[in-house]
């Protein structure tokens, strides 16, 4: 273990190689920067008190690093930082793949799960130290690609899984006069999670779907989640040996979604890697050249693999195979991915939680204290706290809303989300043309055509042309449940931790979607 004593005369920046590193601080800091493991995991400046354990635990593998789900100390994956009362920030960041940073009283501690890492120690104002860290990461993982982000319409945040061929074709026609570069088909086209073939709702097949999109003058985009599979899928039933297991030989959970248990593909298994490569080549042969690969965290979950290499190195190996197979000319958006191990291998990266058509859900955010779950405030909070990644990768803040139908966001909340998209330089929406009135449609057009000058004034404040946009009010964390609320939170967390409860919720959501679809 390497130990350093920090004081104001310490170097502004230094790099040290160590498997574990402790920095003794002169006094307790005021705040700690928590950096979540993957896209949806919370990133935020917080006080030093422990946060409630996120509920339900059945979703831990899908939303946070399950190894650190119950860590009581302020913790960050790869990087952590402390802020002192004089406004200065001390950052400790790994330049490797499998490191974590903790605050233990007046000790800032970094540790690797395997081997050694280079550690960057930087002291100064917040923007400078994070810029220094980003520069160090760029040297190790490669620079940001110079490809501009396309303007995207995707099917998810209006239709969700209730898509079909006829409805999408009608929607594409309705978008004809809007300046989108990509029309992206999201979840709902596949036979099952793990079996990436057209289901019965797409009788003409995926090549015909891509051809229809390209006939509108846009590029064809497609969503897949190639590193997970449901038990019912042919992939899982035929290839049990392709999936990660724990020390007892049980399959490792990759979370619970779509009303089913998910499992993690072993991205060190040569046969599984061959299947992934063939899948990407098939998708490109269909005609899709904008690929959104989701739920990628599964490749780095803890467990036993074919090759005995560290889990995040295993994930990066799998991601390289996916990137090479899809070709460098494909635009690759990574989502639900471990952040640092994905650098240099994707064009764009989701850097926050998914948005939703509501600002904040009382049950999810305040009782379950689940800040990784879809919600617009959750998405803005983590995205803004990860904007230091802009020099490394194109950040994706998720879609913006313009519609009033099937959306409870008020005008101010929609505007803040739209401004975040302008700051990130990544514009997308899922609004259906038949849901937009004339004014909303015009606002969407102006948003897509807008090329504002963006200047950062402070970590949370930006100038967008002549306007000043302050994201600060959206970044506050919910209050910790206490008293009767704490009891209610415990009961709700217990209930939500049962698969049958999540299945019921999934069925209710599907029923609501079908009603919406029938009204189109």
DSSP of 474-511: G-PPPPPP-THHHHHHHHHHHHHTSHHHHHHHHHHHHH
Same domain, 276 and 234: yes
- What token pair was written down for 398? 């998720």
Whether residue 464 is contained in a domain is answered as no
Of 97, 114, 141, which residue is a domain's last? 141
Task: Return phi, psi of residue 174, to 5°.
Answer: -70, -15
- What token pair was written down for 80? 């952590």
Whether residue 471 is contained in a domain is answered as no
Q: In whole angstroms, how far apart are CA 473 and each of 413, 419, 476? A: 11, 14, 7
Nearest CA to 520 among 168, 253, 242, 194? Answer: 168
Whether residue 203 is contained in a domain is answered as yes
The pLDDT value recorded for residue 487 is: 86
Same domain, 137 and 173: no
Total number of domains in the chain:
2
Same domain, 236 and 272: yes
SS3 403: coil
The pLDDT value recorded for residue 503 is: 85
Whether residue 460 is contained in a domain is answered as no
The 8-class DSSP code of residue 290 comes to: E
Same domain, 390 and 503: yes
Whether residue 186 is contained in a domain is answered as yes
Of 95, 121, 141, which residue is a domain's last? 141
Same domain, 43 and 175: no
Rounded CA-CA distance 147/144 in Å is 9
Rounded CA-CA distance 119/132 in Å is 12
Nearest CA to 298 among 272, 331, 330? Answer: 272
Rounded CA-CA distance 433/440 in Å is 10
Of 86, 108, 141, which residue is a domain's last? 141
The pLDDT value recorded for residue 24 is: 97
Same domain, 74 and 118: yes
Rounded CA-CA distance 429/186 in Å is 12
For residue 137, give its domain range.
2-141
Whether residue 477 is contained in a domain is answered as no
Same domain, 99 and 176: no
Number of CB atoms found within 10 A of residue 197's CB: 13
Same domain, 161 and 204: yes
**CATH (domain of 186):** 3.20.20.70
**Residuewise pLDDT in 10s, the chain (520 residues):** 899 999 877 888 999 999 999 999 999 999 999 999 999 999 999 999 999 999 999 999 999 999 999 999 999 999 999 999 989 999 999 999 999 999 999 999 999 999 999 999 999 999 999 999 999 999 999 999 989 999 999 999 999 999 999 999 999 999 999 999 999 999 999 999 999 999 999 999 999 999 999 999 999 999 999 999 999 999 999 999 999 999 999 999 999 999 999 999 999 999 999 999 999 999 999 999 999 999 999 999 999 999 989 999 999 999 999 999 999 999 999 999 999 999 999 999 999 999 999 999 989 998 999 999 999 999 999 999 999 999 999 999 999 999 999 999 999 999 999 999 999 999 999 999 999 999 999 999 999 999 999 999 999 999 999 999 999 999 999 998 888 888 888 888 888 888 888 888 888 888 888 888 887 8
Same domain, 501 and 370: yes
Whether residue 98 is contained in a domain is answered as yes
Same domain, 221 and 362: yes
pTM for the model stands at: 0.96
Task: Return phi, psi of residue 104, to 5°.
Answer: -120, 90
Whether residue 210 is contained in a domain is answered as yes
- Residues whose CB falls within 8 Å of the CB of residue 360, separated by 6 or more in sequence, listed in order: 366, 375, 376, 377, 378, 478
Same domain, 251 and 395: yes
- Residues whose CB falls within 8 Å of the CB of residue 412, separated by 6 or more in sequence, listed in order: none
Same domain, 211 and 305: yes
């Amino acid at each position: 273990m390497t130990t350093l004593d920090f004081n104001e005369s310490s170097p502004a920046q230094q790099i040290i190689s160590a498997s574990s590193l402790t920095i003794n601080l002169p006094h307790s800091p005021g705040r700690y920067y928590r950096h979540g493991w993957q896209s949806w995991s919370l990133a935020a400046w917080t006080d030093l008190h422990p946060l409630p354990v996120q509920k339900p635990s059945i979703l831990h593998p899908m939303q946070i690093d399950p190894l650190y789900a119950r860590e009581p100390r302020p913790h960050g994956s790869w990087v952590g930082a402390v802020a002192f009362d004089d406004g200065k920030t001390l950052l400790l960041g790994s330049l490797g793949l499998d490191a974590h940073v903790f605050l233990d009283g007046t000790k800032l501690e970094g540790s690797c799960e395997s081997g050694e890492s280079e550690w960057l120690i930087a002291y100064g104002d917040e923007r400078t130290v994070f810029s220094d860290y980003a520069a160090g990461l760029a040297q190790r993982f490669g620079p940001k690609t110079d490809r501009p982000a396309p303007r995207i319409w995707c099917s998810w945040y209006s239709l969700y899984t209730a898509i079909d061929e006829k409805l999408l074709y009608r929607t594409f026609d309705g978008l004809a006069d809007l300046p989108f570069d990509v029309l992206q088909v999201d979840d709902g086209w596949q036979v099952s999670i793990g079996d990436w073939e057209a289901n019965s709702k797409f009788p003409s097949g995926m090549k015909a779907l891509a051809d229809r999109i390209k006939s509108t003058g846009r590029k064809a985009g497609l969503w897949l989640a190639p590193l997970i599979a449901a038990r019912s899928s042919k992939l899982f039933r035929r290839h049990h040996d392709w999936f990660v297991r724990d020390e007892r030989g049980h399959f490792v959970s990759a979370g619970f979604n779509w009303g089913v248990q998910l499992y993690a593909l072993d991205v060190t298994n040569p046969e599984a890697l061959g299947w992934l490569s063939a899948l990407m080549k098939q998708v490109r042969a269909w005609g899709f050249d904008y690929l959104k690969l989701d739920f990628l965290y599964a490749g780095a979950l803890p467990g036993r693999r074919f090759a005995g290499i560290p889990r995040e190195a295993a994930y990066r190996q799998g991601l390289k195979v996916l990137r090479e197979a899809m070709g460098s000319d494909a635009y690759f958006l990574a989502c639900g991915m471990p952040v640092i191990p994905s650098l240099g291998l994707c064009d764009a990266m989701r850097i926050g939680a998914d948005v939703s058509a509501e600002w904040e859900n009382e049950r999810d955010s305040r009782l379950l204290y689940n800040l990784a779950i879809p919600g617009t405030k959750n998405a803005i909070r983590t995205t803004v706290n990860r904007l230091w990644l802009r020099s490394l990768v194109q950040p994706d803040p998720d879609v913006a809303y313009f519609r009033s139908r099937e959306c409870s966001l008020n005008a101010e909340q929609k505007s803040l989300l739209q401004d975040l998209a302008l700051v990130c330089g990544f514009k997308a929406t899922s609004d259906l043309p038949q849901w937009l009135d004339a004014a909303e449609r015009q606002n969407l057009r102006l948003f897509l055509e807008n090329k504002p000058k963006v200047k950062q004034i402070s970590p949370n404040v930006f100038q967008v042309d002549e306007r000043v946009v302050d994201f600060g009010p959206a970044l506050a964390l919910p209050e910790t449940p206490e008293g009767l609320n704490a009891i209610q939170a415990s009961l709700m967390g217990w209930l939500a931790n049962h698969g049958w409860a999540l299945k019921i919720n999934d069925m209710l959501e599907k029923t609501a979607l079908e009603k919406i679809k029938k009204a189109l």
